């Protein structure tokens, strides 16, 4: 089976390829810009994206929308995580979190998969905290400032370790369970 991973983020493609390889699912990276709606819900963004792409004749694909939700910032950056990463970066989030004691946060990943004419939508989550400084060189985005145990950042984990615990790894596991029911 081969699924097109539609994203402009090569880091996501690497994570999908690694996570899906053991399930005999090949991936193909496709850069295919499409309109995304502004919504406070990841699932709504993914549903709209899937309708748009199917309307353009695409099939057998994966899209996702992910976000980091910081409790002390009332869920910010949430669905705006990509934009905030490009504009404020990790340094900006750390600045917003200066002198904040409660550092709970979570990553969420909503995956939409169209395969054999059917749609699957799953939501994975990873709970953790925002560190006080960047740590590590692996991964991408907010990985250097997010930790599930308050010690090691996601950027200090190997891809294999990260995929076992991350929001995308959890969502991919849910996706594979759904795919196994269908195939």
Cα–Cα distance list, 37 to 40, 43, 48, 168, 175 (Å): 10, 11, 7, 21, 23
Give me the chain's average pLDDT, please. Answer: 92
**Cβ(47)–Cβ(112) below 8 Å:** yes
Please state the domain extents for the chain: 2-182
Q: pLDDT tens-digit profile of 81-139?
A: 989 999 999 999 999 999 999 999 999 999 999 998 899 999 999 999 999 999 999 98
Tell me which of 60, 64, 65, 143 is the catalytic residue: 65
CATH number of 2-182: 3.90.950.10
- Give one word for 172, left, alpha or beta, with left for phi > 0 and alpha for psi -120 to 50: alpha
**Residue 10, C-beta contacts closer than 8 angstroms, at least 6 positions apart:** 29
Report the pLDDT value the prediction gives residue 19, as an integer from 0 to 100: 77
Whole-prediction pTM value?
Answer: 0.89
Q: Active site includes 149?
A: no
Letter string b/e over residues 53-90, b meaning 16 or more CB atoms within 10 A of that residue's CB: beeeebeebbbbbbbbbbeebebbbbbebbebbeeeeb
Per-residue pLDDT reduced to its tens digit, 138-169: 988 999 999 999 999 999 999 889 988 999 88
| DSSP class per residue in 130-162 | E-SS---SSS-TTGGGEESSSSSBGGGS-HHHH
């Amino acid at each position: 089976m081969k699924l097109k991973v539609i994203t402009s983020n090569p880091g996501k493609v690497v994570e999908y390829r690694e996570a899906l390889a053991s399930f005999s699912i090949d991936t193909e990276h496709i850069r295919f810009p499409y309109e995304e709606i502004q919504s406070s819900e990841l699932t709504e963004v993914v549903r709209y994206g899937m309708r748009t792409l199917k309307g353009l004749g695409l099939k057998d694909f994966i899209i996702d929308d992910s976000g980091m939700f910081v409790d002390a910032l009332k869920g910010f950056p949430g669905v705006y995580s990509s934009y905030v990463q490009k504009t404020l970066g990790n340094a900006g989030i750390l600045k917003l979190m200066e002198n904040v004691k409660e550092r709970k946060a979570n990553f969420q990943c909503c995956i939409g998969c169209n395969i054999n004419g059917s749609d699957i939508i799953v939501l994975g989550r990873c709970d953790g905290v925002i560190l006080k400084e960047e740590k590590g060189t692996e991964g991408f985005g907010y990985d250097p400032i997010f930790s599930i145990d308050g010690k090691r950042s996601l950027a200090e984990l190997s891809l294999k370790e990260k995929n076992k615990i991350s929001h995308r790894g959890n969502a991919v596991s849910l996706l594979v369970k759904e795919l196994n029911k269908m195939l």
